[in-house]
Chain A
Amino acid sequence: MILPFFVIIPLGAAFLISLFGKKIKNFGDLLANLGTLSLLVFSLYSISKVFTNKILVYKVGGWMPPLGISMVLDGLSSFMLVTVNLVSFLVTIYSISYMEKYTDKYRFYTLFMLMLTGMNGIIITGDLFNLFVFLEIASIASYALVAFGTEAEELEASFKYAVMGSVASSFVLLGIALLYSYTSTLNMADISQVLSGRPAGMMVNFVAVLFLAGFGLKAALVPFHAWLPDAHPAAPAPISAMLSGVLIKVLGVYAIMRIFFNLIGINTVILAMLMFLGAVSMLMGVILALAQWDFKRLLAYHSISQIGYVILGIGLGTPLGILGGLFHLFNHSIFKSLLFLNSGAVDYSLGTRDLQKMGGLREKMPVTANTSLIASMSIAGIPPFNGFFSKLIIIFACIQANRFGYAFCAIAASILTLASFMKVQKYAFFGKLNPKWQNIKEVPWPMKLSMIALGVICVISALLIMPLFKPFLQSAANVLLLGNGYKDMVFGALK
């Protein structure tokens, strides 16, 4: 019963804001925050639903699933929903004051809520073509949001992103067309059932390659990463936080996990490919990041590297690896969005993103400096923070699976990440205050509030691995470990 509301609430909010946002002042702020808050409450409620029922299947329009569209809520969906809606709620609080400097704030909220509709729809849907439609909704909204400032650089980045993203979507659609011609059904569980009844042929391998290219481009894995370092810094800071924090994970990583593990069925070749791509993006991203002086561009390269960790963990295919990959996915969405919000706060006060022009901001902006210190230590993997535990689990999983080379890559990338963030801290927040910045002030309270909240979550989400909270992660990992058993769960829930 609660399932369709994950799509209804943001979609309704988007069009109500576009209708009334111009006339009534602050209507956009109010409705967007209420919408994301209610989505967060619904997604937290969905955890308890998953614990009691295991899996929930909703028949849209009362049609039975192989014919009609279905919505499926299982452990993985619930885990992703909590991640997306937690970050989006804190980001909307942040944008109350950050977006003041742009005109047409209500248009920003309309596009933001449409992007959220797309992401929630991808997570909740149980139908392959429906997944494509929601993917396009989220992508088109994000192309427009990257170009929101309509300056020369932003338009250039958005054009690049839009062209590459459209080609990726065409690959995905071609894959869906081939899969439909092979199985003559579009329901995910039904496709899995048909595929498991037939020998795997060349067709399925070709489809797998198309999906890997399409969703890999959306996830910015290394051969397909060229759009990300342009597009993410060009967007306004709250949107950078959403794009880096959750969009690439939902459009890329979640879709890869769901389709390869539950639909097509995983095999060693695909796993080896995922691991290789993960390790390459992990190293390439961090090496490219070392040379950057633009704060947001540096963070964007780190996104590529951290997505590499997630893909490596999932590509190991062992229970521990998948658990670590999912845990790192959650942690990365928290600390990377916090870092992007920090860079936005610095940009808001100083008007520059160049690290060489900053220095000594600690005394003037204590909240920003301290939260960014927490986030930097999390991303670099310093013990009490969440990033340490997830990286540790991934490295242990590599060693357990006898993949010592990949374990070494992960450790090396972690050390390079630490070096790169020491540079950020040294040049931006420590050191002597540049006399030019004598009159700067700390940012307004909504921005402070959301940064502090994310900083606190950075610390306490390390507890997710403790036995008390572990079932939340474990139920998500179990869905992937189930593999082809997904179809039996879905059809079992229908009876």
Chain B
Amino acid sequence: MIEYILCFILFCIGLYCVLRKRNIIKIVIGLGIVEYAVNLFFVLIGFRMHGRAPILAKDQTISNMVDPLPQALVLTSIVIGLAVTALIVAIAIRLYEKYGTFDITKIRRLRG
């Protein structure tokens, strides 16, 4: 149980980082923490006590494997996270070119 709670704490740390930090690079890092907390949680779901890696080998019977499906799903969600992070970093670099600052409180041309 403790590992799930730690996972949620990690999620909340990432959320805090997104909401509270002013530097946009730190916000991107916070998003990464949120994503990885969810991924970690997904992998933990498939865990079983004394299980072994879900790889078929020649001299082993199929028994007591960990659930392989969450691992496949996590791989997909890592790819998605990669795409989002790359896009946001590219936008952040462009923002720095335009405004000359990474401070989110100074990037406020939109109002209303």
- Chain A residues with CB under 8 Å of chain B are 129, 132-133, 136, 140, 143-144, 147, 150-153, 155-159, 162-163, 166-167, 169-170, 173-174, 177, 180-181, 186, 229-230, 234, 291-292, 294, 297
Contact = CB atoms under 8 A, between A and B. Distances in A.
Interface string B5-18: 00000010001001
Nearest to B35: A170
B45 to A, nearest CB: 4
Contacts of B108: 156
Interface string B58-91: 0000000000011001001100100110011001
Contacts of B110: 153, 156-157, 230, 234
Interface residues of B, number: 33
B109 A153 contact: yes
B73 A140 contact: no
A295 to B, nearest CB: 13
Residue of A150, A170, A181 with most partner-chain B CB within 10 A: A170
Given A140-B83, A152-B98, A297-B112, A173 B77 contact: yes
Contacts of A159: 24, 88, 91-92, 95, 107
Interface of B: 11, 15, 18, 24, 27, 31, 34-35, 38, 41-42, 45, 69-70, 73, 76-77, 80, 83-84, 87-88, 91-92, 94-95, 98-99, 107-110, 112
B37 to A, nearest CB: 8
Contact of A163 (B31, B38, B76, B99): B31
A181 B95 contact: no
A153 B99 CA distance: 10
Given A159-B88, A167-B18, A173 B45 contact: no
B78 to A, nearest CB: 11
Nearest to A297: B112
Contact of B91 (A153, A155, A230): A155
A291 B11 CA distance: 38
A90 B72 CA distance: 39
A375 B69 CA distance: 49
Residue of A133, A156, A229 with most partner-chain B CB within 10 A: A156
B112 A170 contact: no
Given A167-B15, A180-B45, A156 B88 contact: no
6 contacts: A129-B76, A133-B80, A147-B91, A150-B94, A159-B88, A163-B31
Nearest to B83: A140
Contacts of B15: 167
A72 to B, nearest CB: 20
